[in-house]
Structure 1
Amino acid sequence: MELTPDDLPDGLVIADEQGRVVCFNRAATRITGLAPDAALGRRLADALPLEDLEGRPWWQLTDPYGGLATRTGQPERSLLLPGGREVLVSARYVRGDRAEERTGPVRRVVISLRGTEARKRIERSHAELIATVAHELRSPLTSVKGFTATLLQKWERFTDEQKKLMLETVDSDANRVTRLIAELLDISRIDAGRLEVRRQPVDVAAALRRHVEGKVAAGQAPDRFRLALRGPLPELWADPDKLDQVLGNLLENSVRHGEGTVTIEAEPVKLSASAEDAVGRVREGTAVTVSDEGAGIPEESMGRVFTRFWRGSKRGGTGLGLYIVKGIVEAHGGTVAVGRAPGGGARFRFILPAGAPEHLA
């Protein structure tokens, strides 16, 4: 059965290249209280007269059909309809499918509307984020405060070896706090659609070897890992720091929550026939798979793995890592999925499109 706009749970409003409304679905009617007949065919600013919280006309402020040709839309924010009804609104500007059209005139403005119940869900999510951050910060900061206070008060009583041990603990906990802050910044950028990707040539095979060597140096048994590189990998342009985050998160999850051998595979793949580069060639990609032999992820939890605060076990962590993995991979134009490994454990696989930046446009 083919879905229609009326089947969508969120409000959908689409305006054509002249700025006139051509789609106003059932959810948009429910959220705004406006009838489709009163919106279809009218200018967007007249059919959906939104204002920001300071009373300024929204479409006049954002000027979707003008401004910079590189703009892709507006992130979700609270706006007001006549009468003061509050709605959550995001917009995407559609310019064209071909590379040369992507900085051309706007052909469609696609608006998503959500009601105040969605705002309440966001507020609950923010409250949960604050509680999680407070909990995760309390332990390392208590440790840092305790050890530094002890050293300052009783420095002469400790041997050099004891001082070194306490300072190493302080350093480790400070690194933990730094990682948590970096995660929060990434989440903020992902949510706002502003995660910056600095592409450069990346040697995926070397990156995988480096991460495995790091785990072994940290005390893991060398035979815990199996690295398989299948065939020559295509040239990959990616953000090396962001790719390290993805690899580090997936490997850490398999080591911490999985059991048995952790298998890391990298191989070239052909993307779908519709995924063509700027010169019409079918794109290549690099697929990386990380799997273990543990209990795996229950089937009923598969759909929640990449959401905020999902934890596969009680073995620590903020529950933010896989959410960030998904955001980073998608910012590169790739995809990530979870499934069951042949040995029964968890299997994570992400695919990044290969090629120089001009072919990724």
Structure 2
Amino acid sequence: MEFTPGMLMDNESAGIAAELIPDGLVAADADARILFLNSRAGRILGRPREELVGADIREAVDLQDSDGSSWWETTNPWGGLRIRTGHREKMLMLRHNGREVLVTAKYLRPGRNEPVNRVNILMRDALYRRRQEAENAAVISTVAHELRSPLTSVKGFSSTLLRRWDRFTDEQKRLMLETIEADADRVTRLITELLDVSRIDSGRLQIRPLPLDVSSVFHRHVERAVASGLERDRFAIEVAEDLPEVWADPDRLDQILSNLLENAVRHGDGVVTLSAVPADADARAAMVAKGRGEEGVEIVVSDEGPGIPEDHRALVFSRFWHGSGRGSTGLGLYVVRGLVEAHGGRVVVGTAPSGGAQFRLSLPSTAPEYLA
């Protein structure tokens, strides 16, 4: 059969629809000759459409597997079983330019068990997938480093104590054991965060809310921070009078505040203020939308540091976001948002009166319906 430019598409609307597809689309007939392709496919292949129409798709779109074999010879769309309808997405390479593409194929037949008379393939540039894989690899490397550092310390101190126990004073032994305990807590916390990320992503995060006094929770966290070596005047607590209790999971609320306080101490400066006021109209509306009633408390954690640039605020609660600095896995704030939303509340970031970062989270003051 002789091909003409008029066979580029069946009609004008089909051509317009093909151009609206974000992926590269190439269609071939029963003889493997290209009938038409959209402009995105031409850019991926690096050749003008005029040269490709009528060409053998197996030569023009020379796809190969990771082992170097021809994908067309392996799949043979026009032969083999007549019940095949296509192929799911697969990472392949264009032999002529070395470009990696994600390819999906669809086989069309005029009737049941009849030979294939049309093969459509969709191609998507794999560059973004590779970038995502590289980012995930970097995250794994970061997590591995975060785990290795405290485990190395635990191994070193415990081995030293076992071999030379009699050579150390009681004070030296106590210091080593305290270091081992602190590093073990660090590993436990990291593993907990990783598990929480998995539960948040899969929708399996569970909370067990109880009525809690916010002021007592604040003071407990400040005392814990002071016991860890921070100065007491580094913290300030401001709680509104007659503030209602919050309904929250005690362990999860501790986790939320620990992450926010650690973030403020590590990345902020000056005094870290913990305050609590009745929820404003926006926070109440958000809780009502989630079926948690109109009453709530807004908890605010702010510092006097440089703050978070406005163009970064939409990213701070995403997984593995570090901003301009490193030194953490970037999981803490992602977990904070997941935990707050699991309670039926919301968390936002803004600027404190001092110019530092300010995290505002709302929590309900009424029991969930299943406990009412």
TM-score tier by shorter-chain length is: 0.5 to 0.7
Counting only pairs closer than 5 Å after superposition, residues 259-274 of structure 1 correspond to structure 2 as 259-272=269-282
What is the match of residue 338 of structure 1? 349
What is the match of residue 232 of structure 1? 242
Is 1:297 matched with 2:308? Answer: yes
What secondary structure sits across from 2:314 in the alignment?
helix
Is 1:321 matched with 2:332? Answer: yes
What is the match of residue 155 of structure 1? 165
What secondary structure sits across from 1:358 in the alignment?
coil
* Inter-CA distance 332–360: structure 2 relative to 1 (3 Å threshold): farther
Counting only pairs closer than 5 Å after superposition, residues 177-326 of structure 1 correspond to structure 2 as 177-272=187-282, 283-312=294-323, 314=325, 316-326=327-337
Whether the 8 Å contact between 2:286 and 2:346 is mirrored in structure 1 is no
What is the match of residue 71 of structure 1? none
For residues 342 and 165 of structure 1, the distance between their equivalents in structure 2, rounded to whole angstroms, comes to: 40
Counting only pairs closer than 5 Å after superposition, residues 95-110 of structure 1 correspond to structure 2 as none
Q: 1:157 Cα deviation (Å)? A: 2.3
Q: Note the alpha carbon deviations across 1:228-249, whole angstroms, 9 max, x for none.
A: 1123223422111111111111
Q: Which amino acid aligns with 1:198?
A: R
What is the match of residue 167 of structure 1? 177
Q: Which amino acid aligns with 1:128?
A: A
For residues 192 and 305 of structure 1, the distance between their equivalents in structure 2, rounded to whole angstroms, comes to: 20
What secondary structure sits across from 1:182 in the alignment?
helix
For residues 298 and 231 of structure 1, the distance between their equivalents in structure 2, rounded to whole angstroms, comes to: 33
For residues 217 and 134 of structure 2, the distance between their equivalents in structure 1, rounded to whole angstroms, comes to: 38
What secondary structure sits across from 2:318 in the alignment?
coil
Give me the TM-score of the superposition, normalised by structure 1. Answer: 0.64
For residues 184 and 226 of structure 1, the distance between their equivalents in structure 2, rounded to whole angstroms, comes to: 31
Whether the 8 Å contact between 1:234 and 1:355 is mirrored in structure 2 is no
**Runs of at least 5 residues in structure 2 that lack an aligned partner in the other structure:** 1-17, 26-83, 91-123
What is the match of residue 74 of structure 1? none
For residues 126 and 195 of structure 1, the distance between their equivalents in structure 2, rounded to whole angstroms, comes to: 23
* Inter-CA distance 28–168: structure 2 relative to 1 (3 Å threshold): farther
* Inter-CA distance 176–190: structure 2 relative to 1 (3 Å threshold): same
Count of residue pairs the alignment pairs up: 263
Whether the 8 Å contact between 1:293 and 1:345 is mirrored in structure 2 is yes
Q: 1:224 Cα deviation (Å)? A: 1.9
What secondary structure sits across from 2:87 in the alignment?
coil
For residues 276 and 287 of structure 2, the distance between their equivalents in structure 1, rounded to whole angstroms, comes to: 22
Q: 1:274 Cα deviation (Å)? A: 5.6
Q: Which amino acid aligns with 1:232?
A: D
Q: Note the alpha carbon deviations across 1:315-353, whole angstroms, 9 max, x for none.
A: 732221011101111111211111111111111111123
2:87 to 84, 94, 100: 84
Identity of aligned residues (%): 59
* Inter-CA distance 115–335: structure 2 relative to 1 (3 Å threshold): farther
Whether the 8 Å contact between 1:200 and 1:238 is mirrored in structure 2 is yes
* Inter-CA distance 250–276: structure 2 relative to 1 (3 Å threshold): closer
* Higher Rg of the two aligned structures: 2
Whether the 8 Å contact between 1:277 and 1:360 is mirrored in structure 2 is no
Whether the 8 Å contact between 2:293 and 2:364 is mirrored in structure 1 is no
For residues 82 and 271 of structure 1, the distance between their equivalents in structure 2, rounded to whole angstroms, comes to: 54
For residues 353 and 271 of structure 1, the distance between their equivalents in structure 2, rounded to whole angstroms, comes to: 13
Q: 1:299 Cα deviation (Å)? A: 2.4
What secondary structure sits across from 2:369 in the alignment?
helix
* Inter-CA distance 275–315: structure 2 relative to 1 (3 Å threshold): closer
For residues 122 and 145 of structure 1, the distance between their equivalents in structure 2, rounded to whole angstroms, comes to: 34
What is the match of residue 139 of structure 2? 129
* Inter-CA distance 28–352: structure 2 relative to 1 (3 Å threshold): farther
Give me the TM-score of the superposition, normalised by structure 2. Answer: 0.62
For residues 125 and 299 of structure 2, the distance between their equivalents in structure 1, rounded to whole angstroms, comes to: 39
Q: 1:298 Cα deviation (Å)? A: 2.0
Cα RMSD of the aligned pairs, angstroms, is 3.4
What secondary structure sits across from 1:308 in the alignment?
coil
* Inter-CA distance 353–344: structure 2 relative to 1 (3 Å threshold): same
Q: Which amino acid aligns with 2:255?
A: Q
What is the match of residue 53 of structure 2? none
After superposing the two structures, state which structure 1 stretch, 181-190 or 142-151, moved more. Answer: 142-151
**Runs of at least 5 residues in structure 1 that lack an aligned partner in the other structure:** 1-25, 34-80, 88-113
